Chains A and B, each alone.
Chain A
């Protein structure tokens, strides 16, 4: 009995999948990359049998914090610049609205519409704050979402009339929503940076893959500006 319970415990602990397993790569990526990176990861796994790409998609700020606390990320892609990162992609925030929306221009937000943006601390929120400075909008968002994907989900499900999200989010949901551009395109921009944090064979291979022409082409189709 003694032995069985101990062995069961050890077996249980050992069966928990961990990021150190040989043929896997752990990628911490900005929430706005969820859709495109999931697709890119699957393609990579298909052409590299037995290699597993594990993604963690969160607000870049949150991921950066987790990495600082020792999270086992092999590759980090942030929607803002960070120490040691190199420029990767450019995205910009837009006002996302449903296709048949009564909102035609940014200043329409002053009418009684329900809209949301990201929290000030995360990249999409910082960009939203920056573009709103140049617009004449006196209403306030009803929620500051902790990451862009939760703002997108609320817009796509119709719970809000508008959300300040990325251009790429709008393209990914173009059957339901469209974009209204902000006048200050420069402030709307955010530069994504990438870095390989740990050296191992598959992380390096996947890092090269992420920078390959084929992947950058996919990302460009998704609406990112590639370097």
Chain B
């Protein structure tokens, strides 16, 4: 099949739209003093542990949800599925307001927690994790559900003939068969959580070592030391490209 010149031109344009800014970021990075620009690693550490914790929670909860979505016949699922996938397309500010209206100290749930314990989620690292789970888990659900649907029917049938119950089928067959999908969903969730900015700022605020995440620090450093902002951004770009590169095979499979 021959690809037309126009299509090739548009493809080149598409590539440039994405690659040109990324290369410019690399070009303008303060390479001569890259590591000395990264004096304070507190925000990076905070982002790493909160996003990893968010990913673990997203997998622990998201995989069972994906299984139910894939296997249950209930008609309610037609309404639940779009709701639980909504954060993928929701603007971060909307996610932030939604989280505050639930978990803020005047929130629907947060109010009772605050009255009973004096503790409220906003301005804590817990809020950063919750925001990460909220924006990240839909990716686990999306990819795992599609994977569970594609499990070979013969395997399931064989397991049922061996009198495996639904739970054994899920735990002993489906999960081991879906390791790659779970990992893919988990890594996408992690990437989304570590890159989260707007919802976290609204819900968690910005305090060094507690809620000031990597992305928040980039935003702040633009006002203080541009070199640091660039160095922090390059580091994130490297991680991002690394993620996509390592996932190129499972992603292609999951998207099928």
Contacts and interface: CB of A to CB of B under 8 A. Distances in A.
Interface of A: 2, 5-6, 9, 59, 61-62, 65, 114, 116, 119, 121-122, 141-146, 150, 154, 157-160
Interface in B92-135: 100, 104-106, 120, 122-123
B100 A157 contact: yes
A8 to B, nearest CB: 11
Contacts of A114: 123
B6 A142 contact: no
Given A2-B6, A5-B6, A159-B106, A143 B222 contact: no
A38 to B, nearest CB: 18
* Interface size range of chain B in the complex: 20 to 34
B122 A159 contact: yes
A70 to B, nearest CB: 14
Contacts, number: 63
B206 A2 contact: no
Given A6-B6, A158-B105, A142 B123 contact: yes
Given A5-B6, A159-B106, A150 B222 contact: no
A99 to B, nearest CB: 15
Given A121-B220, A142-B205, A142-B207, 14 more contacts: A9-B10, A62-B222, A116-B123, A119-B223, A142-B210, A143-B123, A144-B205, A144-B207, A144-B212, A146-B206, A154-B205, A157-B104, A159-B104, A160-B123
Interface in B59-108: 100, 104-106
A100 B151 CA distance: 60
A197 to B, nearest CB: 19
A62 B223 contact: yes
Contact of A159 (B4, B100, B220): B100
Given A114-B123, A142-B205, A61 B105 contact: no
A146 B207 CA distance: 11
Given A144-B206, A145-B206, A5 B10 contact: yes
B207 A141 contact: yes
Interface in B184-218: 201-202, 204-208, 210-212, 216
Max chain A Cβ within 10 angstroms of own Cβ: one of B211, B223, B224: B223
A119 B201 CA distance: 13
Max chain B Cβ within 10 angstroms of own Cβ: one of A65, A119, A150: A119
B49 interface: no
Contacts of A144: 205-208, 212
Contacts of B212: 144
A143 B207 contact: yes
B188 to A, nearest CB: 27
Contacts of B220: 119, 121, 146
Contact of A116 (B106, B205, B208): B205
B223 A61 contact: yes
A141 to B, nearest CB: 7
B23 interface: no
A157 B101 CA distance: 10
B35 interface: no
Max chain A Cβ within 10 angstroms of own Cβ: one of B4, B120, B205: B205
B219 interface: yes
Contacts of B224: 121
Contacts of B216: 146
